[in-house]
Amino acid sequence: MPFRTTVVTGATSGIGKETALALAKKDHALYLLVRNVDKGEQLKREIIAQTNNRSVFVIHCDLADLQSVQQAADELKGKLMAVNVLVNNAGGINASKQLSKDGNELTFAMNHLGHFLLTMSLMPLLQKGQARIINVSSEAHRMASPHLLNDVQFKQGYSSFKAYALAKLCNIYFAKSLAERYASSGITAYALHPGVVNTGFGSQLGGLGKVLMLLAKPFMITAREGAQTNIYLAGEAKLNPKLSGQYFKKGKPAKPTLAAQNTSARNRLWQISEQLTNNFLH
């Protein structure tokens, strides 16, 4: 397989960490975009020790802070000629409504909007690298309806699960839109469900959310198992380009909800995302 330059968000734990380790073993040059640089440097040392791949670099990036995202993208553009793989992996769920530094609902900001800005800012490098763009979504998207796009900031009736479900639906919309809009540049894009993974995800939830997570724990898979579809889409030497834009589970295309196939909602999300990131795109 040809040498690949790969950018991974949220690489310091869970499936992001397992993805980074596996791709390092496949001789990818890794750029780890992390909120906590100390953890990122620790991971870098682990990767080098386990794989002897020294092409591992750490860049600060807080996906809930659009200025931080733009600075990370600018740093990458200053270092690289092309990017071959972008794994939009970072995400999370919040027990209560919080706002990002830019005043956006935090779950939407860190799961979708930050990745939208990062991807679009890196687009010249992604086009040069005929990149694969991989969005980590979730089966939680099945709980979301396109009408939630009427209030992405959840000014009315906030629910942590609804906010998370909407963000995961957005991950699927974004992958499909990228696949359509940039196919002529050789770019392919995918969304995936990693499985219900036993990591620290959702640990900050209280009440019913905490109870549900505890009940689900015995049935969860390991982070290494959860990373397998990520690793397949990022590391497979040849993927059929006709699969671009699809939603994957367990390494295979799967059918998302009818809502996830709603073209007008998908286009609406693109417009909303452009409006919210307009001050940073240049």
Rg of the chain, C-alpha, whole Å: 17
- Examine the residue annotation and report whether 182 is marked as an active-site residue of this protein: no
Q: Which of 31, 158, 173, 232 is catalytic?
A: 158
CA–CA separation, 68 and 70 (whole Å): 5
- The torsion defined by the Cα of 120, 121, 127 and 132, in degrees rounded to 10, comes to -60
- Give catalytic residue positions: 158
